[in-house]
Amino acid sequence: MTNNKGPVLVIGATGQQGRATTEQLLKRGWEVHAFVRNLNAPAAMALQTQGANLIEGDLDDAGSIRAAMEGAYGVFMMLTMMTGIHITAEGIAAEQRWGKRVADIAKELGVAHLVYSSLRGAGGNTGVEYYAAKEAIEAHISQLELPATVLRPTFFMDNLNAFNRPVLDEKGELVVNLPVRSDIPISLISTHDIGAFAALAFDRPGQFLGRTIPLAGDYLTPPQIAEIIGRHAGLPARSNQVPLEQVRAFDKYVAQMFTHFDENPDGPLDIPALRTEHPGLMDLDAWLRSVAWKPLLP
């Protein structure tokens, strides 16, 4: 375990994973520098209230990244390809550009530990376009021989409080809408636990440097997800497979990913081994309780 407690520069600090990582690092006594576009944004000010130091910058401005990273022990990097609520070609290209730029500057400045949150599926030559950007960033980190840990999280449990939040139908039944066949299990992870693994990586560099770690806390089919949510809410529940055509009409890149997943389901991860490293790793039931989950009313 390292005695060095930072600073760690958190890139993507106001996103779900960045907030979780900042919280976990601060709890462990790390100095956190949060890289934000707007110092006065409510999400940025909330990080400051928790104890993070805010550093204003722009991922398209190499100078601001360099200034923010100067003197940092470590960097946590989470990037998004989203433009608003959609994935776009421009967003995918920007993510790849940003990731490579951050890695180059980390190499230049001799950062001791980069933790990059990618996604499961990267490195699998899936043909999914937004996976390719993350694959390229991972490859660039490797080519630079950066001291790094790559996390590959799976489907966010937190999506069940957002994009995939179950709704009550006219019969009072909870409906879990997912574009996945009912017989295909899905690996799930909470963003809280992604942050915990990121913080553990910085705490234990000897154990985590050089590793690529897929992350999951549960492995469930859509009907099993519905059953657990229904039991938690005390309501009847069922899963519903959203047609891929409907997903494609909303976002072709997301449909591309689910088409691949439908044809090439992910196998289970070694969740007990992950829980040995992080005993607090939550399954779906524990996550529902942790966020006091409630259904979305019609």
Per-residue pLDDT of 242-261, as tens digits, reads 998 998 988 888 888 888 88
pLDDT digits (tens, 9 = 90+) for 78-135: 998 877 677 888 889 999 999 999 999 999 999 999 999 999 988 777 777 888 889 9
pLDDT at 237: 96
The number of CA neighbours under 13 Å toward the Cβ of 296 is 13
- Residues contacting 27, CB < 8 A, separation 6+: 199
The whole-number pLDDT of residue 17 equals 96
Mean pLDDT to the nearest integer, 178-198? 96
pLDDT, residue 298, reads 62
What backbone torsions phi and psi does residue 279 show, to the nearest 5 degrees?
-60, -20
Q: How confident is the model at residue 1 (pLDDT cuts 50, 70, 90)?
A: low
The confidence score (pLDDT) of residue 85 equals: 77
Whether residue 2 has pLDDT greater than 80: no
β 148-153/113-117 pair status: parallel
Dist CA 84 CA 150 (whole Å): 26
3 pLDDT tier (thresholds 50, 70, 90):
low
The tens digit of pLDDT for each residue in 212-226 reads 999 999 999 999 999
Per-residue pLDDT at 87 = 85
What does the pLDDT average to over 150-172? 91
Spatial separation of the C-alpha atoms in residues 112 and 193, rounded to whole Å: 23
Q: How many CB atoms lie within 10 A of CB 270?
A: 10
Judge if pTM exceeds 0.85: yes
List alpha helices for the chain, DSSP H.
16-27, 42-50, 62-69, 89-109, 129-143, 191-203, 205-208, 222-233, 244-250, 252-263, 271-277, 284-290
Average pLDDT over residues 58-66: 97
Give the whole-number percent of the chain exceeding pLDDT 70: 98
Domains annotated on the chain, with CATH: 8-154+188-216+267-281 (3.40.50.720)
Helix (H/G/I), strand (E/B), else coil: 35: strand
Mean pLDDT of the chain: 93
pLDDT band at 266 (very low <50, low <70, confident <90, very high): confident
Q: CA-to-CA distance for 34 and 68, rounded, in angstroms?
A: 9
